Structure 1
């Protein structure tokens, strides 16, 4: 068994197991937190809890003008990062083949050129986010080791993935055997590292952000405050 066999076999099983159990453990921990019912009557004209939750989730997708240009730049960079990441993960032909192999579902892929541009945009957005964090004294002081580890485990799959994508995806899929085993092994291992870290670091925001915004929106709407 070489490194690629390990990444495709025991390493992948271990990473997915830690990911699923870790996410379930985090959600279970939140569900078990004690909560005290708000016995005060809602403000007159306050929206329903569901409407308040939905409004807060949608309102949080764009910064308020009072936060200034810096918040706008950070938000746009975040959209570039997340949209590019979604395109690379879900619309690149080898990735779709990987998903089909494990889950039995698939869909048409986008052209390779779109994937290369998306991956480049994600790498640029990650580098810009790191520079913004290091350049701003306040953000730098507020940053913890979690922020930097999360940045590294997100950055590595894209760098190793660009090393693997040295030829058109059609040629990669048409080949029966893997031509570059070590680069592919490193790419898979970097993805598995991300999955293992996901439940325990700030990547968990992908699961928790709608829950936290909904809770805030429900509380604010009950008090008649616009989220």
Structure 2
């Protein structure tokens, strides 16, 4: 079995199984935690739980101006690489073919040149995020190996994908195999590292917003 056969066969299959099972385990374990009953009296005129959840989530999509320009940079840069990653995953023709093979659905892809530009911008944004984490005294102090490893498994698929599309550094088959292995590593790490925030952000933001709204906090 060649490296490419292993990468797009057993490696991806095992990684996807771990991803799905790990995701289910994290969500079930979180939602199944015992919770103390909220005995506070609901303030008159407070919105419904659903409205508060939506309002709170939208409110936290952007930082207030009082947080300063540094936080504003982090917010904008975060949007850049998150949107960039979404465009790469769901806009590249080969990725769409893979999704169609799994779920039977597909859509038109973007030109490879556009994906390449988005990939370069996304990688630059990820590097900027890493530099800020390593140079900011506060972020450096609170950062853990989880943060750095999560950055690595996020950046590697983008880097190896760009190399594979550009045919730089090795034979295309080798570059593709390395790219697929980097994706497998990201899928395996996803449920157990900081990448899990892609799912938990909806739970935590809405839960906090509902609790605050019930106490009369304006969102």
Coarse TM-score class (shorter-chain normalised): over 0.9
CA-based RMSD of the aligned residues comes to: 1.2
Could you tell me how far apart the structure 1 residues matched to 2:104 and 2:173 are? 24
Deviation above 2 Å: which 4+ runs of structure 1? none
1:100 CA displacement: 1.7
**Structure 1 residue 103: Cα displacement:** 2.3
Distance 1:73 1:166 in 2: 30
CA distance in 1, matches of 2:153, 2:194: 11
For 1:196, the equivalent position in structure 2 comes to: 188
TM-score, reference length from structure 1: 0.92
Deviation at 1:40, TM superposition (A): 2.1
- Other-structure match for 2:23: 23
Residues 137-194 of structure 1: CA distance to partner in whole angstroms, max 9, x if unpaired? 1100000000000000001101110111027xxxxxxxxxxx7221111000000000
Q: In the alignment, what sits opposite 2:166?
A: 166
Q: Secondary structure at the match of 1:116?
A: helix
| Residues 141-220 of structure 1 mapped to structure 2, 5 A cutoff | 141-166=141-166, 180-220=172-212
1:205 partner SS: helix
What is residue 89 of structure 2 aligned with on the other side? 89
Q: Distance in 2 between matches of 1:74 and 1:213?
A: 19
Please give the alpha-carbon distance, in whole angstroms, between the structure 1 residues aligned to 2:18 and 2:176: 21
Q: How many residues align?
A: 216
Following the alignment from structure 1 to structure 2, what is the Cα–Cα distance between the partners of residues 55 and 224? 14
C-alpha separation in 2, matches of 1:115 and 1:199? 27
Query: Alignment partner of 1:9: what SS?
Result: helix
> Which residue in 2 is equivalent to 1:37?
37
Which residue number in structure 2 is paired with residue 109 of structure 1? 109
Q: CA deviation at 1:102?
A: 2.5
Gaps spanning 5+ residues in structure 2: where?
Answer: none
Aligned to 1:132: 132
